[in-house]
Structure 1
């Protein structure tokens, strides 16, 4: 007998309704990293040579440190040579006595290749009387002041012919002269210390002697950004006082394009990056910059500068009288003349040499 099987009916159970999940916020569209722009294989040899010259120069300081470290490591003989060198370095004060210009070194073809990479061009607004003493003010600072180094620490652009009778020492932080071997290269290239003792020594020298000061310093380097030119100048009175004490002629000098050859990580005032930079600057007198550019193999990734032109123009000289007593009014008077000279120089060439600028000159 077949008995149909029936399943008992289960009572219905009401489950509590699940709360609606909140909608997930839309993810922002993050920009993708730019694809590397590789350097083609068919780049002409002269351009490759220029790029290699810049790359070599940028690696030269660490190579000197590596070489000195190797001397300390290899043998008793090399360590003895290194010890003698350290003793020589400790007692030498060439950076405060006008450097040791070696024209053969400044005239090497290497520096022409280096200058042609950007390229760097050097112009003058007027002739300079070699019977005077000179203080050149260089603007803007940029990341490493490539235009100043190329134009005045080498003969790549024939500065000795363009400004005959002048012996201009490019000045840099004294800390650079603590690096073994690198310091001697700087001295041979006519680079001296930017401290007061060094400046006084040069300006007490022969007629035609002068110094090139990058006036904005570390504070201005933090403002470096392509398409802009912000100068830290209104608070700078020390170089005016020195000019009046020595009766030295002031020469405003502007490097159009100096700020364009590197990008810098955004560091607006108040940002963690800027706070870190300012903290280091208070302790070490220089500011670490997070800059980037190109490399040997790519056009858009690396720490080498971009191939962008720099035109350095020396302006109309401002003759300063020699004063034994200098008042604040005197300082402000000649500072005003100097700032007007910088502004006039910028206004004259900005459309020709900075056609793609984002903003005009700002003097802070």
Structure 2
């Protein structure tokens, strides 16, 4: 699943292509659909369980209800890493490889050598979030698409509280996007990938021909980058639009709920119009920019002053906008505008 390196000089129309899926178009086969379902379709599985229980209830409703409650009680009681303990990372690696084909994922670099030779872990800040940030899978260590780095995906802690889903994400080597985990991974020499805009971006998905990134208030990762002396790297995925259709709640109450539980209340559907099921297959291309140089004069005690954090964060926002504007035409999105809030 590796594409040969093209080390020709970078221009505004040509990128250094490093790695990607061997399929030019999304490959929708039974195995790939099953893999994506295991990865993203767990909420739909809850619905199917209820339907199955209702069907069985016509025969022996007490038995059906008892089995359903017992099954999910067991899933809830299992430790987060139960899947890894039972199956290791075999299932996780299989899901990753199949899902990469399902989306015909590829990764393009503005400067692959700067990534490979960074000399330290990197913070890959990936946008946009869309309904689900499925393109984060391109950074998984199984694919080995990020030269010189082993990456860990960070996501909302909500997925680690849901029965079944928490086991799947543990097999995918995912981690919670809290400050302590962030710091622990960087100190261990592991690069991280996360979506700084998060669920707040889902609120603005209704706008046609516009991508909204919720970045202006996200200074936390910039501070962590300076504290750990690990450069931030802007990355943008083209092609996410249309993976899901959706209807979400709007307004201040919905936003408050989203911040509390990590999800925006609503419904979304993709392949086969299945509520909360797997997404539609789309070709996903992630363009990775250059690492942002760390400023001179970083304090030795790891406590950068607020003005230094704001300046570094501002440089990141400018770099993210430039990344999108430079490559959107080549990705078939010339009519799309970027708005950063």
TM-score, structure 1 normalization:
0.67
Number of equivalenced pairs: 292
With over 3 angstroms needed to count, the CA separation of the structure-2 counterparts of 1:313 and 1:166, relative to structure 1, is same
1:113 aligns with 2:98: yes
2:219 and 2:310 mapped to 1: Cα distance?
8
1:123 is paired with a residue of what secondary structure? strand
For 2:131, the equivalent position in structure 1 comes to 143
Q: Give the whole-Å Cα distance in 1 for the aligned partners of 2:220 and 2:203.
A: 21
2:116 is the counterpart of 1:133: no
Deviation string 1:221-253 (CA, Å, 9 cap, x unpaired) is 211246421111111111111111111111111
Check if 1:337 corresponds to 2:315. yes
Shift of 1:189: 1.4
Q: In structure 2, what is the Cα distance between the partners aligned to 1:93 and 1:112?
A: 22
For residue 254 of structure 2, what is the aligned residue in structure 1?
277
Q: Distance in 2 between matches of 1:252 and 1:105?
A: 30
Q: Please list every run of 5 or more consecutive structure 2 residues that lacks an aligned counterpart in the other structure.
A: 1-26, 54-62
Deviation at 1:185, TM superposition (A): 2.5
Equivalent in the alignment of 2:304 = 326
Shift of 1:275: 4.5
1:191 pairs, out of 174, 177, 180, with: 174
C-alpha RMSD of matched pairs (Å): 3.9
Q: 1:251 to 1:276 in 2, by over 3 A?
A: same
Q: 1:233 aligns with which of 212, 215, 232?
A: 215
Return the alpha-carbon distance in structure 1 between the equivalents of residues 231 and 258 of structure 2: 30
**Structure 1 unaligned blocks of 5 or more:** 1-45, 95-100
Aligned to 1:37: none
Q: Distance in 1 between matches of 2:178 and 2:37?
A: 29
User: Secondary structure in 2 aligned to 1:116?
Assistant: helix
Q: Distance in 2 between matches of 1:105 and 1:122?
A: 23
Structure showing greater radius of gyration is 1
